[in-house]
């Protein structure tokens, strides 16, 4: 939504665009435009539009990949409502999102402010961004090894400190926090860079005025930086929360949903229902529910954090 | 968008320089150094383990240098080691051929990148510069797909690829993102909107057609943004796991990320082949590390609001 709005704003700004209040675009280029747009349009219809409609349709059917989908109305949804595994997956996912987003946002904010104030070099930013460019699967493997119970370096360190070893991926209580940590590690630099870009957009003269008034760095941060940064922070939160809800790769290659059900996040559950149990209708209904949850979460964040209003004007 | 971000002047208040020791700065750098270390150490540990021999890892688990240096793990994952040697060095003995997965990943990522950037640039141009009825409405609908979570379209797309007979083919893995992604179109449209119209208009007066203008004037002027988008697209395609996991299950159609998962699941349970696993991980990460060393600045500067996917 926000991106659409940004696009609209960007469209209004470049000088060569026709003046506001212009008439409808003339259709002089219609034929060439159709040619230019044709491949993308095909891709849009075949891989976005039709699948979206088909996904909604499938959620009202029973379908095991063989034969035709059989219409069963709302049965999948009523079943899901009573499905303990679904509620578990929702709870586990929520636990993951809270831990992941909580730590990630605070660390990224600190890093962004530090990059902005003391280390403006591209090298520092580059190094911190690096984990984000590496595949989830790769990152998961490296940490799976470093956090190994027997000979992982982290447990060696814990041992050396005289503390009891931790079964990071094997302990039900530790599994989700561990996976959340791994993904905080991967995303903190990227998130910091997004916030950093927002910090750069705050005009320098505002800080100069604050400095003249003798405001402390602490006060400047809370009274000036944070309020002006709010729209960016909200945007970052919306995007990262939505991404966080769809955690899959890390879980799939480390715990596979275990131990017991401790890390069976919602996308893992959808995957297992669809491909391990060939229950495509049920899995589609789960996806619809996830879609709705994401929509509500994004809407609430925008509404309550007032992400679409800027204090900078 | 990306270009505007990188060229934005950086007029900031200059930090005070007089004080002998600025404890705030020392503290700031300490925190930064900690996070830089936290970022770098796992990479070093990955390389260190990949160059160790697996049996020596347990005895030297906290030694920072490779334990009993060996190329064995790398040979093993490239399928260059005999089964006996592999078993003797702690591998599973199952056939693994990361050379093939590497090739597959390269083909899929290249195919996606070239096709997606090209087709998206065509569409972006039509959205930015051509005049046709319904243009802005169609664009908003395209952008609306950004809101649909990938998992939601993944199941129906799997059925489509299956119906097309493309399951377990590289084309089947690449196809859904070859024609467009909303992000690619958005990204390029932003650039085209900000481009000066003068040259195009001059060419138009000379009687040049849109097709010629696009290929001879617009594209050459957009090399920078096209390269940035290409880089981001390649990295995303290279790192993708969920979709190739659904569509590329056979040995012949496995990409690196999927191969890595299979390799891990085949590793002996009691005593995993850590060296082999880290060698495979290194192979999967290396091309990105190389791209990053070559074009890191471009990537870093492209992360702004337009970088949100």
pLDDT digits (tens, 9 = 90+) for A45-66: 999 999 999 999 999 999 988 8
pLDDT digits (tens, 9 = 90+) for B170-227: 999 999 999 999 999 999 998 898 888 887 888 877 777 888 888 888 898 888 889 9
pLDDT at A21: 42
Nearest CA in chain A to B308: A239
pLDDT range class, residue A10, cuts 50, 70, 90: very low
Tell me how close the Cα of A94 comes to any Cα of chain B, in angstroms. Answer: 17
Domain ranges of chain B: 99-266
Residue pair A184/A104 in contact by the 8 Å Cβ criterion? yes
Q: Which of A188-192, B186-190, B296-300 has the lowest mean pLDDT?
A: B296-300
Domains of chain A: 84-304 (1.10.3720.10)
Q: Kindly determine whether residue B238 and residue A188, on different chains, have CB atoms separated by under 8 Å.
A: no
Q: Kindly determine whether residue B278 and residue A24, on different chains, have CB atoms separated by under 8 Å.
A: no
How far CA B222 is from CA of A6, B35, B178, B215, in Å, comes to 21, 36, 20, 10
pLDDT at B19: 54
pLDDT for A183 beyond 90: yes
Q: What is the mean pLDDT of residues A123-136?
A: 91
For chain A, give the mean pLDDT: 86
Tell me how close the Cα of B122 comes to any Cα of chain A, in angstroms. Answer: 5
pLDDT digits (tens, 9 = 90+) for A263-294: 999 999 999 999 999 899 999 999 999 999 99
Q: Kindly determine whether residue A16 and residue B148, on different chains, have CB atoms separated by under 8 Å.
A: no
Of the candidates B162, B185, B214, the beta carbon closest to that of A40 is on: B185
Nearest CA in chain A to B209: A32
For chain B, give the mean pLDDT: 83
pLDDT at A268: 95
Q: Which of A2-11, A12-21, A260-269, B194-203 has the lowest mean pLDDT?
A: A2-11
pLDDT digits (tens, 9 = 90+) for A238-259: 889 999 999 999 999 999 888 8
Which backbone phi and psi does B182 adopt, to 5 degrees? -60, -35
pLDDT for A155 beyond 70: yes
pLDDT for A12 beyond 50: no
pLDDT for A18 beyond 60: no
pLDDT for B8 beyond 60: no
Q: Kindly determine whether residue B297 and residue A122, on different chains, have CB atoms separated by under 8 Å.
A: yes
pLDDT for A227 beyond 90: no
pLDDT at A74: 92
Is CATH 3.40.50.720 the classification given to domain B99-266?
A: no
* DSSP conformation letters of A87-114: HHHHHHHHHHHHHHHHHHHHHHHHHHHH
B288/B291 Cα distance (integer angstroms): 5
More confident residue, B54 or B246: B246
């Amino acid at each position: 939504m926000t991106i659409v709005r940004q696009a609209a704003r960007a469209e209004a700004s470049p000088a060569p665009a026709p003046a506001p209040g212009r008439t409808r675009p003339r259709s002089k280029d219609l034929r060439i435009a159709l040619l230019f747009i044709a491949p993308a349009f095909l891709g849009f219809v075949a891989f976005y539009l039709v699948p979206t409609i088909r996904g909604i349709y499938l959620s009202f059917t029973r379908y095991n990949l063989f034969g035709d989908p059989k219409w069963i109305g709302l049965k999948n949804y009523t079943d899901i409502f009573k499905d303990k595994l679904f509620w578990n997956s929702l709870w586990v996912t929520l636990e993951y999102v809270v831990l992941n987003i909580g730590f990630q946002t605070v660390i990224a904010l600190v890093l962004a402010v530090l990059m902005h104030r003391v280390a403006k070099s591209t090298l520092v930013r580059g190094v911190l961004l690096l984990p984000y460019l590496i595949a989830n699967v790769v990152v998961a493997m490296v940490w799976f090894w470093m956090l190994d119970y027997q000979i992982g370096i982290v447990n060696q360190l814990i041992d050396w400190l005289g503390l009891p070893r931790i079964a990071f991926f094997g302990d039900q209580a530790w599994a989700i926090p561990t996976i959340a940590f791994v993904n905080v590690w991967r995303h903190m630099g990227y998130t910091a860079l997004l916030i950093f870009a927002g910090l750069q957009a705050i005009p320098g003269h505002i800080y100069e005025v604050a400095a003249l008034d003798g405001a402390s760095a602490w006060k400047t941060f809370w009274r000036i930086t944070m309020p002006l940064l709010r729209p960016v922070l909200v945007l970052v939160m919306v995007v990262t929360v939505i991404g966080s809800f769809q955690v899959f790769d890390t879980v799939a290659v480390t715990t596979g949903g275990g131990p017991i059900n401790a890390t069976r996040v919602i996308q893992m559950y959808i995957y297992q229902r669809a491909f391990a149990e060939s229950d495509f209708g049920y899995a589609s209904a789960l996806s619809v529910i996830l879609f709705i949850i994401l929509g509500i979460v994004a809407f609430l964040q925008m509404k309550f954090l007032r992400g679409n209003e800027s204090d900078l004007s | 968008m990306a270009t505007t971000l990188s060229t934005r002047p950086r007029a900031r208040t200059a930090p005070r320089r007089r004080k002998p020791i600025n404890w705030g700065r020392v503290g700031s750098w300490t925190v930064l150094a900690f996070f830089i270390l936290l970022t770098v150490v796992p990479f070093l540990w990955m390389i260190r383990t990949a160059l160790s021999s697996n049996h020596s890892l347990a005895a030297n688990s906290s030694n920072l240098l490779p334990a009993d240096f060996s190329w064995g793990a790398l040979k093993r994952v490239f399928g260059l080691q005999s089964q006996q040697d592999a078993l003797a060095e702690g591998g599973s003995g199952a056939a693994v051929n990361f050379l093939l997965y590497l090739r597959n990943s390269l083909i899929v990522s290249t195919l996606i990148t070239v096709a997606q950037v090209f087709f998206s640039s065509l569409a972006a141009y039509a959205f930015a510069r051509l005049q046709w009825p319904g243009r802005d409405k169609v664009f908003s609908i395209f952008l609306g797909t950004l809101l649909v979570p990938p998992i939601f379209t993944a199941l129906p797309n799997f059925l489509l690829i299956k119906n097309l007979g493309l399951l377990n083919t590289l084309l089947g893995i690449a196809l859904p993102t070859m024609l467009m992604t909303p992000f690619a179109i958005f990204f390029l449209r932003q650039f085209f909107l900000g481009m000066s119209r003068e040259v195009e208009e001059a060419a138009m007066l000379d009687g040049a057609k849109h097709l010629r203008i696009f290929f001879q004037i617009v594209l050459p002027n957009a090399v920078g943004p096209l390269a940035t988008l290409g880089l981001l697209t390649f990295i995303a395609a290279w790192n993708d796991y969920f979709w190739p996991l659904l569509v590329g299950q056979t040995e012949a159609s496995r990409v690196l990320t999927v191969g890595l998962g299979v390799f891990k699941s085949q590793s002996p349970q009691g005593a995993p082949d850590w060296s082999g696993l880290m060698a495979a991980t290194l192979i999967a990460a290396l091309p990105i590390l190389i791209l990053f060393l070559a074009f890191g600045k471009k990537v870093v500067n492209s992360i702004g609001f337009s970088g949100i996917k």
